[in-house]
Amino acid sequence: MDKIKVVIIDEQAFFRAGVHQVLSERPEFDVIDCDTTQDPLGTIDANLPDVVLLGSDLATLSGLELCRKITRHYPNTKVIVLSPDPNDEELFEVIRTAAVACLSKSATGDDLASTITRARNGEYPINDSVITRPTVAKHVLEQFEEVASMGKAMENVVAPLTNRETQILKHIANGNSNKQIARILQISEQTIKNHVSAILRKLNANDRAHAVALALRSGWISAEGTL
């Protein structure tokens, strides 16, 4: 089974080192450190991790805002927010970012490892937190009611493509296969497949040709220069 690729984003070097050591002792994880001066989105784009561990208490930028950007631009990457002491208000805000879990920074290594594994497997451990927080559950229900009242307008919302995804989509428009694109960009074919999967999901496209048509219509790529 492939290892679970995890990126740790936090300003506190000591905290990152501790989490890195705990996870590195487990053979199922491949761990990458990233502080906020290293262009977190660039690190994610280069590595396409399965899971991001994101500190919420960032001084140089909002941890929750960064979480929104990650979940929007990289839908295949699951985000677990780590907070010093998550209260009801913060938990609700974390839910709104589309993070899959919110853990205290004092959580045990076993709890962290279990949550990462569950997230990678498509689960939403954050639901467990909602069940035990009546106030948060009430806010979530109200939020759902508000979204439902907006009708189908939400169906047309499309997440923007990253620069790399736009680049790959242009190569697709030129008739290149995943293998050819991987050779052109000098990255692995699996990475290309991951990007293509994200592109299809973001554009609500049925296949590669549909994605190209949608991108051309929206002006994200130009017909000029395509074959």
- What would the pLDDT profile of 106-143 be if each residue is shown by its tens digit? 999 999 999 999 999 988 888 777 666 666 556 555 55
Q: What pTM value is reported for the model?
A: 0.64
Average pLDDT over residues 184-212: 87
Q: Which of 96, 124, 149 is the last residue of a domain?
A: 149
Give, in degrees to the nearest 5, the angle at Cα 133 between 130 and 137. Answer: 55
Structure tokens, 125: 């451990």
pLDDT of residue 162: 85
Give yes or no: residues 35 and 120 share one domain: yes
The packing angle between helices 88-96 and 63-73, to 10°, is 30
- Based on the fold, state whether residues 116 and 18 are members of the same structural domain: yes
Say yes or no: 169 and 120 in one domain.
no
Crossing angle for the helix pair 189-203 and 178-185, to the nearest 10 degrees: 110
Supply the range of the domain harboring residue 174.
163-218
With a cut of 80, say whether residue 4 has pLDDT above it.
Answer: yes
SS3 call for 168: helix
Which phi and psi (to 5°) does residue 97 adopt?
-80, -10
Please report whether residue 120 resides in a domain. Answer: yes
pLDDT of residue 17: 93
End position of a domain, from candidates 95, 127, 149: 149
Q: Per-residue pLDDT tens for 175-190?
A: 888 999 999 999 999 9
